[in-house]
Amino acid sequence: MDVKGKRVLVVGLGKSGVASALFLQARGARVTVSDAKSEEQLRSEIPTLLDKGITVETGKHGERTFRDQDLIVISPGVPFEMPQLEQARQMGVPVIGEIELSATYLQGHIIAITGSNGKTTTTTLTGEVIAAGGRKTLVGGNIGTPAITFVEHTAPDDYVVLEISSFQLETIKTFRPEISAVLNVTPDHLDRHGTFDAYSAAKKRIFENQRETDFAVLNADDPTCVAMGKGIHPRVLWFSRRKPVEQGSFVRDGQIIFRDGSRETTIMPADDMTLKGTHNLENVLAAVAMGMIAGIEPAKIRRAVHEFKAVEHRLEYVATINGAQYFNDSKATNVDATIKALESFPANIHLILGGKDKGSDYTVLKDLIRERVKRVYTIGAAAAKIESQLKPVLPKLDFNSADTLETAIKRAHESAKAGDIVLLAPACASFDQFDSFEQRGRLFKEVVAALAAKAAKGLEGTA
């Protein structure tokens, strides 16, 4: 893609938008950026862009701004159906995302991983597995480092491991991973996609440009993934924690096995995993399959898995205070992720729920909450909806309307006894009260750390 001298509009000034704008400007494009946020909200991003001669539009998306372009690059958070974008497409202006822009320049072997849950853990772990095999490996995408920033650092033999969201897949045209993976597909982002079928269709686009020489790794225990695996071009390998598969990874007699037709390789005992929860076993199985496809030696895969620690904000242990353990699962931004978090603890959970609703049905949590949760603390914009759906089906459970995360943590701290679990697994996005799930998770850890320090000080005072 030759952008020199072309007029290019970048819509959305998140990480990928800023990175795209700087990349395009460095290649001679005449770049404009547009974001509906105010100049004050974008004060940290604007100076860098202006210093490079990039035109910045804030507080609106002007119709003329979209009309006078040769190419438009949108950030994942920008709805593909936005009227200005639809009008631009009707006028023949190409509209792509940052992942598609990256695909036209990136060298190396691309591994792309999507799914409703587990993407970040599996992407990070897969990067560790590939790196353990001695390959130069870059890890990014939706995980936090925009893929476009890797262009200057890749060579044909390198591996680029990318977490890819449904929003990013909406805008691909030529993006083609050599290895793709769909970990699971459960209802999420219905506020954006409208229906589960539309959401699933966006996920399935990860296979769209793959060839018969490429590979797709799919969850054999997920009905939607099983349906996705039919009729696609790449060679399909499966992973399953419930049953053997002919091609792929599975668990048998406590061992993680990789099978390629009649040939089986024992990778490691499942108990050697340091990650907590059955959902993480699925993540490991997917990473094992991708590592074996990439030709990594089983012993090196085993070492990478054994040494891997939980990713920040993903069922992350924070502290123990007066015998109660505190876990940060701020990345549990949908109901299915919260289910997986609850399944990781047998009982005595103080559960913090709430944030920005994504069109979710919270009643599916009722059985696990009834079995394992002592008290629910609701926060944020979705609090009223959560309580309206769960209170009628859980009449005996104690609900505490806390409003803010800090209040919820402090109230849980006051109630938790030795042996209890205080769990942030909100089942919602963070954008009502926070800039990101990372910011929400950091606040959780900061408040818990302060409570732990206060408790420790109190113990010292009684010594």
Q: Which residues are catalytic?
A: 119, 142, 189
What does the alpha-carbon distance between residue 209 and residue 173 come to, in Å, rounded to a whole number? Answer: 8
Pick from 179, 178, 167: nearest CA to 116: 167
Query: What is the DSSP code (8-state) at residue 380?
Result: S
What does the alpha-carbon distance between residue 207 and residue 237 come to, in Å, rounded to a whole number? Answer: 13
- 3-class secondary structure, 157: coil
Give backbone dihedrals phi and psi of 165, rounded to 5 degrees, phi first.
-95, 165
What does the alpha-carbon distance between residue 11 and residue 32 come to, in Å, rounded to a whole number? Answer: 9
CB-count burial class (<10 Å; 0-12, 13-18, 19+) for 270: middle
- 3-class secondary structure, 140: strand
Task: Name the residue with tokens 């792929």.
Answer: 248
Report the Cα 376 to chain-centroid distance in Å.
Answer: 25
What does the alpha-carbon distance between residue 244 and residue 250 come to, in Å, rounded to a whole number? Answer: 6
What does the alpha-carbon distance between residue 453 and residue 447 come to, in Å, rounded to a whole number? Answer: 10
| Token couple for 248 | 């792929």
